[in-house]
Structures are given as C-alpha cells and as structure tokens.
A and B are shown apart, each in its own frame.
Chain A
Amino acid sequence: MLQVEGLKVKVGGKEIIHDISLNVDIGETLVLFGPNASGKTTLLMAIMGLPRYEITKGMIIFKGQDITHLPVDERARMGIGILFQRPPVVRGVKTRDVVKACLGGREDGYVIDQLAQRLNMVDLLDREVNYGFSGGEVKRSELLQLMAQSPEFVLLDEPDSGVDLVNISLVGEMINELLQKDRMRTRTSSGLLITHTGHILDYVNADRACVLLNGRIWCRGNPREILDSIKAHGYEGCEVCQR
C-alpha cells in the first residue's frame, strides 16, 4: 500500500531523514520506535506531504502512485489520514465543521453525533478546534476527525502521549477500529504508528516494527521483542546493538 524508497527529508535547511526505505502492505500496521528527535514525526509529516518537510531525494508510492510531490490535501483525498501529536488550535473554527469536512460531502449530522458520543466528544463538538482542550481531548478530537475521514492509510503520531489511563483504552479501541483490527482476511486499512513509550501497544497490535535513530532505520523486527528490548536497555541499548 505504501512504499518509501531512499527518502531524504530536510526541515529548515537541515537534513533530518537520511535515506529511509520502508513499506507497509495492505492491512498491515507498522510501528516506529525511536527516542526524541530521531526523525519519527518528520518521516510522518513528509509522508503526509506537509510543505515544511522538504523531500530532497527518494520517492513515496501510495497505492501504486508516486505521491512524492503531491500536495497534502490531495494525499488526504487519496486516502491518507493523520493523527497529529500536537495539532494547532484553529480559533473560530468549530470541531463540528472540521468533522463535517472530513466526511467530505457525506455530511450527516446523525453520523457526527453518533461518532462524537462514542468518543465522548459531544460537549466539544461546538467548541473551537483544540482550543483549551486537555491532552486526552486533543487525541479524541483527532480520532473523531479520522473516523469521519475513514482513511485507508493512517499515520498515528504518538497517540498515547499525554493520555491518561481512562482515555488510553478508548484511544486504542478507536485505532483498532480505524485499522479494522476486527477483520483478518478482509482488512484493507493500514497504518504507521509512532510511539515513544510503547503504551499504545497494550491496546493495538502491530505487525512489524522499526527503530529510528538519528534519521535512519536502525533495526526492524517483531514489535513486542523490540519493545521489550527498549524497556530493558533503553534507546542507548539500540545504539550499541549491532543487529
């Protein structure tokens, strides 16, 4: 579904991602581990097509099409969605209106209210996007938008950061739904999930994992094994590991 080949990405003139290649098959969830400033978010933003993340080399192929230079909105309309770790506040714009836009013309007040109810977002629908939201509310708002958008490929940037124990199981449940984890053979949704702490993996099953260090993929393997190793030795352990 998604192939990244030899990608180099610059932010503010500085190269952050150095020659990364990876692929995610249909129905697969790839988890990306890495310490702070290893380039995880940069990679996700470059895949989403945000203009500040300048691709200087390599290619991104989505559903067989080269999207390396497509604008962000076209990528979204092709079926890529993103959960931002720190989305901006958009003053004056109501969450409900963004959710409506995510439905892309399939505007349906009933669907919005139902989704909002499931995400415990009813009271926040008519508030300005992310304005005064708590950490958990921001994540639920992001998930509400993604649920409405219903993308085939989901980029999840630290969905577990700043979320308390009450919210994390709800966040996990919604991600599982987005990624169609209830299906086996007929699953069509795929995802790329960033986690620093690995908490979300208690709720969401990933198929494969990579560790990103200094803008490079350091190792690939089984998500649970890699997480156990990180828990035992920290990312410093990865740095000395010669796998």
Chain B
Amino acid sequence: MSEMTRSKAARERAERARGKPAPLGDDVDLAAYSQAAEEHNYEEDPSRLQPQAKERMLETGVMLDDPSQRSGTFLQIDHSVVHSKAGQEGVEVMSSVEALEEYPWLGDYWWRAVAVDADKFTAQAELYQNHGYFIRALPGVKAIQPVQACLYLTQHGLAQNVHNLIIAEEGSELHIITGCATAPMEREGLHIGISEFYVKRGAKLTFTMIHNWVPQMAVRPRSGIIVEEGGMFLSNYICLNPVRTLQMYPTVQCVGENAVARFNSVLVAPSGTNMDVGARVILGARGARAEIVSRVITTGGTIIARGHLVGQVAEVRGHLECRGLMLSPEGKIHAIPELEGLVDGVDLSHEAAVGKIAEEEVEYLMARGLSRAEAIAAIVRGFLSVDIEGLPHQLEAQIQRAIEISEEEMF
C-alpha cells in the first residue's frame, strides 16, 4: 500500500470514528474545545523561555537551563514546536510531522500500535494533529543522558492533539523523560496524546512521564507499545496534581521471546479529580515477563486503577500489584486487576489492597518521637516511593522531587 493510500485509509477510518465514545472514562465534549491556536516562535535557546513556563516544566522533569544533562530536547507549546534538538550522535529528536516527511517508511509505524479508530480521541488526533515528537535511538546507540520532551498548554479552551512516535532500534538504549503540563493560570483545556513505541530486538526503553495539570483539564493519552525479542519497556507514570478527568490504558504487546514490560504508576487524586488509569500487557511470546505496579492515593478524588495481564502462550510470567491509600473520608479508589490466561503454563498473579493508613503504624513511629503529622508524612512518602529497578539515578531524583513538591501541598 502506498503512503498516500495508507494515510487516506487512516483518515477515512478516523472520520468514521469521530463520534465513537471511549469504552472507559467520562465522556468529553470535543466540540467544547478550540482547534485554533496562536503560533509560538521557535526558540533556538530554550533557556530563554519565560521563567514561569520553565519552572512549570521543571516540575515535570524538563530542565532547560543545562543542555548537557539531556541527550535531546523537544518542546511544544500549544500547537507550535518551539524547540527540537538532539544532543547526541545516533539519537534523533524532531516533530513527528517533520519525521514523517523526512522518513516516508515511518508510515509503517504510524497507527500500528494504536488503532486510529479506537475512539473519538484517536480519531481527533488523526484529523486535527498538531505535531507531537519523534524520538529514535539508532541501532546499538546508548543514550548517555535522558531525552526530554514537554507538551505544554497555555491557551484557554484549546485542544492539543499530538501524535508521538518513539523507536528504540535494535540493541539501543533510550531514556525518555516527558512532562505534560499546563500554564498555571489556564482553567480549561484538552490534551490528547497518541504515543506509539517500538522497542526492537534487545533494546531498552525507559519512559518516565510526569503530568502536571490544572483542575479543569481533560486528558486522554492513548499509548501502544510493541516489544520485540529480548527488548525491555519500562514505564514510570507520575500524576500528583488535580486534573478534572484523565483516562488512559496503555497496552504493551510483547511479541518477541523474553520481551519485558514494567509499569510503575504513582497517582494522587485531590478533590475534584477523576482518574481512570491502567496498564495492559499482552504476553504473546515465550519467556515474556510483565510487572504492573501502582501506588494510588486519594485526598478526595476518584481513582480507578486498572491492570490487565494476558498470557497468550506458555512460559510467560506476569504480576500485578495495586496498593491504594485513602487519606480523606471522601474520595474513592477502585482497583480492577484482571488476569487472563489463555493457555496452560502461564504464571500470572496479582495483589491489591486499598485502605487507610494503619493507625498501628502511625503510633509505632510516634513512639519513636515523630509527631502524628511527621509519622503520616513518612508513611505516605514511603508508600509513594516505588522501588524502580533499572531506573537511571537522574530519573529517580526527578520522581522523588515530584513527590516532594506534591507532599508540601498534601499536608
């Protein structure tokens, strides 16, 4: 199929799915958001961005003052790419629109890990796409520092529809830190983010995403990940601030033998926040392994924490773990772990626990001289600190920083 035919077909499928509701999450009225954004100028030196925007981005791990700390940077504000640069040989960073023009073969990857007609959000991303990033590590290249990408929203009432494509070629290693944030004064907006990841044979991709929204945002990421033989996909997702509605259910397909997928999510839902967040891994090749771990806290909002492991072939292993903490008499945590074994010889397990902080633990720490507030803070901090194997020190520090910032607001 030629590229033109392919894109025409995708468009037609998107047209047909325009009004197709998503199976999960609250409905979002797409017509309520504008598709027209003001242009922002390209900035060769991203450290010259407004201090307020830089500060907000820094909270999501995107640092613009010291390029030596990153192997590449991509910045998009509203619909404009304001900076895009790779900082290491063998690492590519550019707008996905530009990448499709430069590499026509990328059409083979476009809408392969996520269906264009999955719902009205994927359809909108196809019909009204405003860039998104393309990040790729060439075969055998090991990115020394993380590559960072920030999708930033400043315009009130705007829909930002991005489509990201990430490829870790054979034997490569890539760490991506991506921050999605809203300028603090904005009250309303919609972020649709399609992300397709391809982890080739023996490659390792770490994807750390920190969201920093405002209370009136609607957010609909749609992610698909394909992991080949011996490849490893490691995802860390942190969302600690209010967001009106967030629904996502990234799906990994382990298609190669011994492919590995791990998800760690840390979510805090303040009052007025609705989160429906999960991860699904389809273990489709011998020796594939998956782990989905989530730590969720409600301080008044609602969290649905999903997890779904599918064992399609024998000799695969997966574990799901969800722990939820209720820090407020209001709020709700609904853990929905699903295990699906389709053949004999799969090894799937889950554990889930939802409750309030055990008084016995608080008293125990108080007996060591901690005040009640200090004891609760220590337990919550410990609860949120997921031990993430194989995480570069820098990313770990970033996650810790995000948690500390949110803690100040929690207590």
Residues of A within 8 A of B (CB): 48, 50-51, 71-73, 76-77, 81-82, 84, 87-88, 90-94, 97-98, 101-102, 104, 128, 145, 149
Write the nearest CB–CB distance from A146 to chain B, whole angstroms: 9
Task: Find chain B residues with CB under 8 A from A91 CB.
Answer: 323, 382-383
**9 sampled A-B residue pairs with Cβ under 8 A:** A51-B359, A73-B366, A87-B364, A90-B379, A91-B382, A92-B379, A92-B382, A101-B365, A101-B370
Question: Given A77, A87, A128, which contacts B369 in the complex, CB threshold below 8 Å?
Answer: A77
Task: Find chain B residues with CB under 8 A from A71 CB.
Answer: 366, 372
Write the nearest CB–CB distance from B399 to chain A, whole angstroms: 14
A88 touches B360 (CB 8 A): yes
Q: Is the interface of A mostly helix, strand, loop or mixed?
A: mixed
Q: Is the interface of B mostly helix, strand, loop or mixed?
A: helix
A73 touches B371 (CB 8 A): yes
A-B contact count (CB 8 A): 70
Task: Find chain A residues with CB under 8 A from B315 CB.
Answer: none
Alpha-carbon separation in the docked complex, A91 to B361 (Å): 9
Interface residues on B, range: 20 to 34
B382 touches A50 (CB 8 A): no
Question: Given A81, A93, A149, which contacts B382 in the complex, CB threshold below 8 Å?
Answer: A93
A76 touches B385 (CB 8 A): no
Asked whether B378 is an interface residue with its Cβ less than 8 Å from the other chain, the reply is yes
Asked whether B367 is an interface residue with its Cβ less than 8 Å from the other chain, the reply is yes
Alpha-carbon separation in the docked complex, A81 to B369 (Å): 9
B369 touches A149 (CB 8 A): yes
With both beta carbons as reference points, the residue of chain A lying nearest to B384 in the complex is identified as A92
A149 touches B368 (CB 8 A): yes
A73 touches B378 (CB 8 A): no
Q: Which 4 A-B pairs have the closest CB atoms?
A: A92-B382, A93-B382, A76-B369, A73-B366
B368 touches A98 (CB 8 A): yes
Alpha-carbon separation in the docked complex, A149 to B364 (Å): 14
Alpha-carbon separation in the docked complex, A60 to B366 (Å): 19
Alpha-carbon separation in the docked complex, A98 to B365 (Å): 7
Alpha-carbon separation in the docked complex, A73 to B373 (Å): 11
With both beta carbons as reference points, the residue of chain B lying nearest to A130 in the complex is identified as B364
Alpha-carbon separation in the docked complex, A132 to B304 (Å): 30
With both beta carbons as reference points, the residue of chain B lying nearest to A73 in the complex is identified as B366
Write the nearest CB–CB distance from B192 to chain A, whole angstroms: 34
